[in-house]
Amino acid sequence: MSTSASAIAASAVQPVGFSLRRLLPGLALALALGVAGLLLASWAPLQRAQISALTIAIVLGMTIGNSFGAQLPATLSPGVVFAQQKLLRLGVILYGLRLSFGQIAAIGPAGLAIDTIIVVGTLALGSFLGRRVFGLDRDSALLTGVGSAICGAAAVLALERVLKPDPAKVAIAVATVVLFGTLDIFLYPALYPYLHMDAAHFGLYTGATVHEVAQVIAVGSAVDPATADSAVVVKLTRVMLLVPVLFFFGWRQTKLANSASGEKTKVPLPWFALAFVAVSAINSLVAFPPAIKAPLLTFDTLLLAAAMAALGLETRVAKLRSLGPKPLLLAALLWLWLILGGAAMVHVLA
C-alpha cells in the first residue's frame, strides 16, 4: 500500500477508534453496573421481593454519583450519555421480544378496552393533577403519568428520549413508580378475596393496573399460575400502547416548538418505537427456541439496566430534593386511581 493510501486509510479509521476510546470508560462503568444489577436481582432475598435489575441499577448509579460526584473523571461523560441514549433505544427495541400480536388478540375486546382506558385516563389525570393541582412542570407530570399508565421505569425512559428533560425529573418519576408498584405486590393479593373477582378477572385487573412486568408476575403468582399468565398478557398489551403514546408526544413536542419559534419543522419519528413493533411482529411470526430467546431477553434487561445506571450516575440528591414532595403525591393519587378505577372497569366491562 502506498504512503498516500495508508494516510487515507488511517484518517478514515482514526475517528472511529477515537470515538470508541472516548465512549469506553463511561460505557464500561454503565454496563458493569447493569451486570451488577442483574446479579443482585437474582439473589434470593431480592428475587423474592421482586426487585428488578433496573431498580437496583439506578440505585447503584445514584449511590456512586452522589458519593463521588465531582471526583468522577470527565472522561466518563461521553460513554454515560451514550448508555442513556443508544443503549436505551436498543433495549426498548428488543423489549418487543416479550410480546406477540397473538397475545394481544387473546385478551379480547374487553381487555384491550380496559388497557386503553387505563393508559389514556392515567395520562390525562396525571397531566391535569400534576400541572393544575400540584403546579408541577409539564415534564415531571408527564413522566410520572406515563410510568403509572404503561410500564413503569421502561415507559419513563422511553418518553425521556422524546421530552429530553432534566435527569432528576426522570429519576424521581422512576422512584415513584417503583415505590407504588412494590406496594402492589403486597396489597393486591390481600385485596383479592374482597374484590369479588374470579382468577381470570383478577389477572385482567392486575395486568391492567400494576406498574412493572415483574410486579405483575409477583402479584399473579400469589394467586395461581394461570392468573399470572393472563396478567402478563394484559400487561404486555399495555406495553404495546407505549408506541402511539410516543408518537403523540413527539407530535406535540414539535407543535410546541413550532409555536415558540414560528418555524415549521417535521414531526420526529420515534424510530426505536417502530422497531419495537417490528420486533414484536417478528416474535409473532417466528418461534424462537428458548436457547436463543432467553439470552436475548437477558441482554435486553442488561441494556435497560445499563441505561438506568447511567441515568443514576447523573442524578444528584440535591436535585431530587428541589422537586419537593409533589411528584410523590401525584404518583400516590394515580396509584389510587389505578386500584379503584381499574376494579370498577373490570366489573363493568369484563
8 Å CB contact between 268 and 250: yes
8 Å CB contact between 141 and 25: no
Integer-rounded Cα radius of gyration of the chain: 21
> Is the sign of the CA dihedral 140, 145, 148, 153 positive or negative?
negative
308 contacts: CB under 8 Å, gap ≥ 6: 34, 37, 54, 55, 57, 58, 61, 153, 157, 174
pTM strictly above 0.75: no
- Measured in whole angstroms, the distance separating CA 190 from the mean position of its chain's CA atoms is 27
Residue 133, Cβ neighbours under 10 Å: how many? 13
At residue 232's C-alpha, the angle toward residues 226 and 236, to 5°, is: 155
- For 167-188, write each residue's pLDDT tens digit: 888 888 988 887 888 788 889 9
Cell numbers standing for residue 203: 389477572
Q: Which of 39-53, 151-165, 209-223, 258-272 has the lowest mean pLDDT?
A: 258-272
8 Å CB contact between 327 and 144: yes
CA atoms within 13 A on the CB side of 115: 25
- For 33-70, write each residue's pLDDT tens digit: 999 999 998 898 888 876 778 878 888 998 998 888 77
